[in-house]
């Protein structure tokens, strides 16, 4: 059980945070095999704020882990996707990271419910 009460699921040797996330992965693999998307990756790490030092103290980096990232051949753009419930979309840490990603990286998250 994850911290947000969804059950982890194993599929094809990979662990997913929820059944919904696993199903979305299967859909994306079908799209990739059909030639609609390429470069599908899971749990893609995007650094929002690098590690830095201030007054002798080291601050760890802040990273966002996207559930999926891929290149959409029709739209000719990279897509960052996250499978979210109504509950997790409202979490303050998610909202902050979503805004940092948009501001610093000019990336909008495609949210899948």
Residue 70 located in a structural domain? yes
Q: What is the pLDDT of residue 5?
A: 63
**43 pLDDT more than 60:** yes
Residue 77 located in a structural domain? yes
pLDDT digits over 49-88, tens only?
A: 999 999 999 999 999 999 999 999 999 999 999 998 776 7
Residue 57 located in a structural domain? yes
Residue 43 located in a structural domain? yes
Residue 27 located in a structural domain? no
Residue 22 located in a structural domain? no
Q: What is the pLDDT of residue 1?
A: 45
Q: What are phi and psi of 65, to 5 degrees?
A: -110, 110
Total domain count, the chain: 1
Residue 63 located in a structural domain? yes
Domain range for 54 is 39-112
This prediction's pTM: 0.84
Residue 43 CA to residue 60 CA, distance in Å, equals 19
Query: 58: helix, coil or strand?
Result: strand
Residue 17 located in a structural domain? no
């Amino acid at each position: 059980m994850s911290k947000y009460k969804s059950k982890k699921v194993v599929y094809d040797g990979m662990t997913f945070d929820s059944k919904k996330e696993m199903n979305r992965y299967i859909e994306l693999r079908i799209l990739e095999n059909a030639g609609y998307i390429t470069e599908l990756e899971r749990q893609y790490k995007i650094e929002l704020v690098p590690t830095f030092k201030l007054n002798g103290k080291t601050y760890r980096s802040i990273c966002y882990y996207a559930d999926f990232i891929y290149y959409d051949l029709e739209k000719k753009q990279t897509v960052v996707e996250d499978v979210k419930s109504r509950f997790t979309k409202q979490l303050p840490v998610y909202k902050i990271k979503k805004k940092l990603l948009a501001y610093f990286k000019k990336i909008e998250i495609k949210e899948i419910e």
